[in-house]
Amino acid sequence: MPILGQMQTSGIEFQYLNLNEALAKAKAENKLVFLDAYATWCGPCKRMDVETYPDSLVGAFHNERFVNIKLDMEKGSGLEVAKKYGIKAYPTLLYIDPNGNVEHKDAGFFESDKFIRIGEMAFDSINNYGAMQARFEAGDRDSTLLQNLVQHKYKVVDLSYITVAEEFAKTQKIWDSPEMRSFIFTYTNSAGSPLFEYLVEHKKDFYDQFGQGATFGKIENLVRDRSFDVENTTLEEMSRLFDLVYPKNSKELSSKYRLTYYRQKGDRRNYALSAIEHYKKFPSKDAHELNEVGTTFSRVIDDPKLLEQAIELTKKSIAIEDAHFNNDTLAALLLKVGDLQGAKYAAQKAINLARAAGEDPSYTIELLEVIKSH
């Protein structure tokens, strides 16, 4: 598969240059840079190499107008380029001016005639990607512009499309239509968006159009994604989302989310306090869930009073399922509060349970040796 260099006699002449070198050459020759942003595993990338780039008409068009380069986005200088231009789809076809600004971009496999038309768009100062983005940033809210821009951003996996989608929705007086529901369903990618609020509040209409499973699956996925983004969300926002999406269970979900939130934030004390409060209000019958809390306490909490609470939770886990995993946790917690006799007993019990179940007790044996050394 031809990747770099002037390997085709009639197609695109790709040059052995990094992006900065290509930009300098483009400036000297009054051209744009065409960058094929590819990945080695990408099927459509390989098809472009075999079916499109060698075409004589493609070569004649590109070689006259562009400095043509290819970069692997997953190694070398391609990593920096991918980050700079937000490359998330392969191949992404970038048309860049000598100052490094994107005039146009597209993504995916294209046959020769369509690929040439995409290249022509790089010189369309009204309708290409760069021009549409500039008009949007300057405050142009023409609905046709917004619709075209959101579609293009979506295609090239530019996640800022949600901002454009929200602006387009503002231009539409009626949202209760199949066309607008399709728009909202397609372009809503954040639980923090007003489009998401509409989707949830009118979910029965979306059920009728897209199916209940697909609709509620999308809603749940967006709530989950938002919950993981602890740097850009708050406990109050998540509580509101739980109220909106899961009104019957929102209090319990909000309470439990505090554990995830503080754990991901690295706030050990608030994690511990939230865990204790949560399991007092909402007792669990899941031995593994309770054991996970005890394990976390044994690793990151030093306050004896909080550790005693974790010991009680771990004992509840054992009462539900008397097993190696939670007796080992109990041993670690008892060691941490200085109950060496209790820790020794729990560790030996964990070892016996592991052997009886055909499990590996090696890490508990190591823990027992630590207990005996105190």
Q: What pLDDT shows up at residue 5? A: 40
- The length of the chain is 374
- Domains of the chain (ranges plus CATH)? 19-123 (3.40.30.10), 172-228 (no CATH), 284-374 (1.25.40)
Half-sphere exposure of 358 toward its Cβ, with a 13 Å CA cutoff? Answer: 0
Give the model confidence (pLDDT) of 324-355 as tens digits.
Answer: 999 999 999 999 999 999 999 999 999 999 99
Residue whose C-alpha is closest to residue 349's, from 357, 296, 286:
357
Q: Residues 36-51: what's their mean pLDDT?
A: 96
For residue range 122-166, list pLDDT tens digits in order: 999 999 999 999 999 999 999 999 999 999 999 999 999 999 999
The answer to whether residue 7 scores a pLDDT higher than 50 is no
What's the pLDDT band for 212 if we cut at 50, 70, 90? Answer: very high
Residue 70: per-residue pLDDT: 97
Report how far residue 303's alpha carbon sits from residue 299's, in angstroms, rounded to the nearest whole number: 12
The amino acid at residue 195 is: L
Q: Which two tokens stand for residue 293?
A: 């809390």
Record the pTM.
0.79
Beta bridge partners of 38: 72
Residue 10's pLDDT band (cuts 50, 70, 90):
confident
pLDDT band at residue 9 under the 50/70/90 scheme: low
Parallel, antiparallel, or unpaired: how do β-strands 102-107 and 92-96 relate? antiparallel
Lowest mean pLDDT among 7-16, 129-138, 277-286, 310-319: 7-16
